[in-house]
Amino acid sequence: MLRTKVLSLVARSGPSRLMSTATKLTTVEVNDKTGIATLTMCRAPVNGLNLELLKDLKTSIDEIESNKSRGLILTSSNATIFSAGLDIMEMYNPEKERIRAFWTQLQEVWLSLYGSSVPTAAAINGHSPAGGCLLATSCEYRVMLPKFTIGLNETQLGIVAPKWFMSSFLSVLPQRQAERALNQGRMFSTEEALQIGLIDETATSKEEAVEKCAAFLGTFARVNPLARALTKQQFRAADLQQLENERKDDLEKFLFFINQPAVQKGLGIYLEGLKKKAKK
Ligand X SMILES: CCCC/C=C\CC(=O)SCCNC(=O)CCNC(=O)[C@H](O)C(C)(C)COP(=O)(O)OP(=O)(O)OC[C@H]1O[C@@H](n2cnc3c(N)ncnc32)[C@H](O)[C@@H]1OP(=O)(O)O
- Binding residues for ligand X (CB under 6 A): 45-46, 48, 80-81, 84-89, 127, 129-131, 153-154, 157, 159-161, 254, 257-258, 274-275, 277-278
- Closer of 71 and 85 to ligand X (Cβ): 85
Amino acid at 100: R
- Closer of 93 and 219 to ligand X (Cβ): 93
Contact present, 82 and 76 (Cβ < 8 Å): yes
Q: Closest approach of Cβ 14 to ligand X, in Å?
A: 31
Vertex 266: Cα angle to 261 and 271 (nearest 5): 125
Q: Is the dihedral of CA 213, 219, 225, 226 positive or negative?
A: negative
3-state SS assignment for residue 125:
coil
Known catalytic residues are: 86, 131, 153-154
Vertex 131: Cα angle to 268 and 76 (nearest 5): 115
- Closer of 48 and 71 to ligand X (Cβ): 48
3-state SS assignment for residue 76:
strand
Q: Closest approach of Cβ 216 to ligand X, in Å?
A: 26
Question: Rounded to whole angstroms, how far apart are CA atoms 26 and 44?
Answer: 11
Question: Rounded to whole angstroms, how far apart are CA atoms 11 and 62?
Answer: 19
Q: Is the dihedral of CA 61, 64, 70, 76 positive or negative?
A: negative
Neighbouring C-beta atoms of residue 227, cutoff 10 Å: 9
Contact present, 42 and 25 (Cβ < 8 Å): yes
- Closer of 43 and 70 to ligand X (Cβ): 43
- Closer of 161 and 203 to ligand X (Cβ): 161
Q: Closest approach of Cβ 155 to ligand X, in Å?
A: 10
Question: Rounded to whole angstroms, how far apart are CA atoms 258 and 220?
Answer: 41
Q: Closest approach of Cβ 95 to ligand X, in Å?
A: 16
